[in-house]
Amino acid sequence: MFTGIITDLGEVLAIEDHGSAKRIAIACSYPLEGIEIGASIANAGICLTVTTLASEADGRTRFTVDASSETIARTTMAAWRPGSRVNLERALRIGDELGGHIVSGHVDGVAEILTREDRDGTAHFTFTAPSTLAKFIAEKGSVALDGTSLTVNSVDGDTFSVMMIPHTLTVTTWRTARAGDRVNIEVDTMARYAARLADTRQDSY
């Protein structure tokens, strides 16, 4: 479980194909002694399990994760290359501050950036979401994009917008994001259950 508050920027070091799966090596600034094999880390919003750990010559921590064909097909992972930057968040621990919203790390699909407008240090983004997910996105609700917890400003059909403050742009991959980029999207769990409950009630009549 995560909160959507990004705590580090990782760098993809290497990608190995293992049949339809991939093994990915990522460098981060998390202390090596603070991570255990089997720990969960959200990489661009994708919950992945740490399989190996090592120290890099530059002092960064290197960890590897394995991704199944299902994960690759449902996310932006197929486009990752050595040198790609990814938002990182470690799993929520009891007692941690819940600064964003509850994020599972189970990506629902991929959204596309339609526009980006920078103004006074902030950035206004509009996105198009898969039609199957659009019904779960509500004005002033929450959505996780590339692992970042964001508040939805407006919704119009399959299109929605968010505003990002300077701090978010500085500490995440969003500082270089532009129109045409594809990003991982996870809809709010509460919105999903509310929609399911409404569907169930309608079916009962």
pTM above 0.85, yes or no: yes
Strands 122-128 vs 159-164: parallel, antiparallel or unpaired: antiparallel
- Model pLDDT for residues 7-55, shown as the tens digit of each residue: 999 999 999 999 999 999 999 999 999 999 999 999 999 999 999 999 9
* Average pLDDT of the chain to the nearest whole number: 93
Residues ≥6 apart with Cβ < 8 Å to 11 = 26, 27, 28, 83, 84, 85, 86
Identify the residue with better confidence: 205 or 43: 43
Amino acid 156: pLDDT: 97
- In order of their start, the domains of the chain are 8-90 (2.40.30.20), 109-200 (2.40.30.20)
Helix or strand holding residue 125 (H, E): strand 122-128
> In angstroms, rounded to a whole number, what is the distance separating the alpha carbons of residues 70 and 30?
28
- Model pLDDT for residues 49-72, shown as the tens digit of each residue: 999 999 999 999 999 999 999 999
Q: In sequence order, what DSSP letters do the residues of 10-71 get, joined into one string?
A: EEEEEEEEETTEEEEEEEESS-GGG--TT-EEEETTEEEEEEEEEE-TTS-EEEEEEE-HHH
Overall average pLDDT of the 162-173 stretch: 97
- Model pLDDT for residues 86-111, shown as the tens digit of each residue: 999 999 887 777 788 889 999 999 99
